[in-house]
Copies of this chain bind each other. A is one copy, B any other.
């Protein structure tokens, strides 16, 4: 009976699109995932490996022997191999390279030479090139001879004899123009184009801004070397936003939801350790005021409120600013920094007086002490001002130093507002209430 089920499952898998099989594999716990993986027809292995996330791909590759892996990788072109190469054994990459023709090998080598976040790592080589002096009629006949066009072909690339890009011919112009015209007459001569060492995130913004489907990539001499397509850009945008969310929560990288306990521990320990250290510093700050607290134990109960609201408010500010920077809406110029500081400090002042006022009244009534209430209002306002100040300065400074303004920003701001909040509150209390 079990065998019968497997046969049925296999038949169903064969009907699914590789992307759907990939999605199914993502959503299965490890043992079930490997069971399904075994049922997938070997010739589809390659397509599916290219669709799954890095975390899941690792588990699938670990389950394949060298023969299977080699068979799957042999089907791939240079562009696909480049995506996979990081996870294959080094020897195998060499062996695969030798199996490629000279052009494909050169392309693979070049794709592997770029960083993950550069245009060169995202480009593919499936371009249709034409010459500018032929008529559209000739172009149409040429396309018909190709039998198949690469996916996302919304424009043809016009190059000269040396392969230098002269312009692009959008398919939609090709279709509506008089076939007797030449390519040169209707091509766009000033297309959006990219260089392989450009930042991929900036390319993604250009794709969004100009609603591109594909775009040429040229080297520094203007020679066409590849193209970018919207499907890669969509994946990049998705990954970018995910890594932002993950970074903020203190996860180092994408984690397969059904990963083993040890893998999860390894992925998460770093930010927990950082958090532990900053919490320890905050604890030592409190330790400075032991005497004050033992005289007025209410302070111990109230201090987390001051620290907590500072952290929340600081995170609001820093999120806003990191986001504006990611969207390229904010430069690190002095004028902008001052203007933002003025605004954020004003918001903090209002929030501090209003919410500090509310909680100050509550504290004054609860502990029957006007002084305590006043210390509470002052401390909350000061800590919110500190949160606003650091919420602007931390990402601005990181960016000016050429670092990612999101990385660890949330942990840093919380560390400042915790230690700062405890110090301000307990310090004011020692000065005013003792």
A interface list, Cβ under 8 A from B? 17, 19-20, 23, 26-27, 29, 140, 143-144, 146-149, 151-154, 171-172, 175-178, 207-211, 213, 230-231, 233-235, 237-238, 241-242, 244-246, 248-251, 255, 257-258, 261, 264-265, 268-269, 271-273, 275-276, 278-280, 282-284, 286-287, 290, 293-294, 297-305, 307-309, 312-313, 315-316, 318-321, 323-324, 327-331, 339-340, 343, 346-347, 350-351, 355, 358-359, 362, 414, 418, 422
Contacts and interface: CB of A to CB of B under 8 A. Distances in A.
A287 B264 contact: no
Given A143-B175, A279-B309, A343-B261, A211 B320 contact: no
Nearest to A273: B355
A302 B283 contact: yes
A205 to B, nearest CB: 9
A178 B145 CA distance: 10
Contacts of A297: 290, 293-294, 300
B255 A347 contact: no
B211 A231 contact: yes
Contact of A271 (B237, B312, B414): B312
Nearest to A284: B301
Contact of A19 (B210, B283, B301, B313): B210
A209 B290 contact: no
Contacts of A318: 249
Nearest to A154: B154
Given A297-B290, A304-B418, A211 B152 contact: yes
A146 B177 CA distance: 10
Contact of A149 (B175, B282, B321, B330): B175
Contacts of A257: 320-321, 324, 329-330, 340
A382 to B, nearest CB: 16
A213 B210 contact: no
Given A140-B175, A234-B234, 6 more contacts: A171-B175, A248-B248, A249-B315, A272-B313, A280-B362, A290-B298
B176 A269 contact: no
Contact of A276 (B23, B241, B355): B355
